[in-house]
Amino acid sequence: MLIVAVLLLLAAGYVFYKIKSRSKEISGFMESKELNETSGIAASGIFNDTYYIHNDSGDTSRFFAITPKGQLLSTFYFQQDKQMKFPQLDCEDIAVGKGPKPGKSYVYLGDIGDNFNGRPYVTVYRFEEKSAWIKKTVNHVVPSQLHLNYPDGSKDSETLMVDPLQSLLYIINKRTDTIRIYTTPLMFKDNETRVLTLQGKIHIPGFKPFKYITSGDISKDGSRILLKSYGKVYYWQRKGNEPVWKTMQSKPAELPYELQQQGEAIGFTADGTGYFTTSEAAFAAIYYYRIPQE
């Protein structure tokens, strides 16, 4: 009996070790046909195991809440920018962070895509997270809108991030060898128009289009940064309160990534110890990765 007990303990320890040491797994698949072109993913600030996603261009004005397994929890419909002829032009990324009310959490949806570099401005929508959201499968929500211009001409961008330490919105452009990092203060009035600030540039090695930057995220404690191209995941650890754009001037680590066709979305887990990626395909796989211990 003692030998059997020891063997069972060894087996249990081995299984625990394998679970703790694995760095990648498929957490689930998008279960709804409505989730057919996912372009961004971000962890909720108030709900456990809940992530916000959205479709790329061509969808109506909405975003979704899902579980890591891909179960659709709720759909959020909102009124788009009234100045535009279409519901939304090209939502490309989503982020979650603080906002105007202390202690509250907000969803930021970036209608920032511009394939032909011709938009007069881009728009970020802000939604206050509500505890009643997940009680309903359909929610109608009212956003605040921030309209943004680039200081150096229109850009096609697919990365929107929230820095909780310096209270900044980050936007990073997509289709150039040297990407540009722009910021604007996180706090804004509804329907305000601003010019973004160019903070820095980063040269991305590799071949087009695999090097194009399609998404990014900053962990909720502000200490970690992710950028994703079609082919790679880049990772930085921030030094104290150093500006994110300055941290990104240093050489990044490259983290694991399972190549997915039209894989554009990346987001940290709520605790910042891992990240999820998924693609624009219907019923796409959702990959979970554990960040290696530093």
Instruction: Give yes or no for residue 19 having a pLDDT over 50.
Output: no
Give the DSSP letter string of 229-294.
Answer: ESS-EEEEE--TT--HHHHTTSPPEEE-----TTEEEEEE-TTSSEEEEEESSTT-EEEEEEPPP-
In this structure, is residue 21 part of a structural domain?
no
In a domain, 14, yes or no: no
Report pLDDT for 219.
Answer: 98
Query: What is the model's pTM?
Result: 0.90
Please name which of 272, 260, 274 lies closest in space to residue 29, comparing C-alpha atoms: 260
Residue closest to 276 by CA, chosen among 8, 44, 21: 44
Say if 257 falls within a structural domain.
Answer: yes
* 18 in any annotated domain: no
283 is a domain residue: yes
**88-139 pLDDT per residue, tens:** 579 999 999 999 999 999 999 999 999 999 999 999 999 999 999 999 999 9
Q: Does a structural domain hold residue 2? A: no
Cβ 197 vs Cβ 182: under 8 Å: yes
Which residues constitute the domain of residue 74? 27-290
233 or 261: whose pLDDT is higher? Answer: 233
If one counts the domains in the chain, the total is 1
CATH number of domain containing 207: 2.115.10
**Cα–Cα distances in Å, from 219 out to 57, 96, 138, 162, 228?**
26, 10, 28, 9, 14
Q: Which residue has tokens 């009643």?
A: 132
111 inside domain: yes
Q: What are the pLDDT digits (tens) for 273-289?
A: 999 999 999 999 999 99
Residue 12 lies in a domain: no
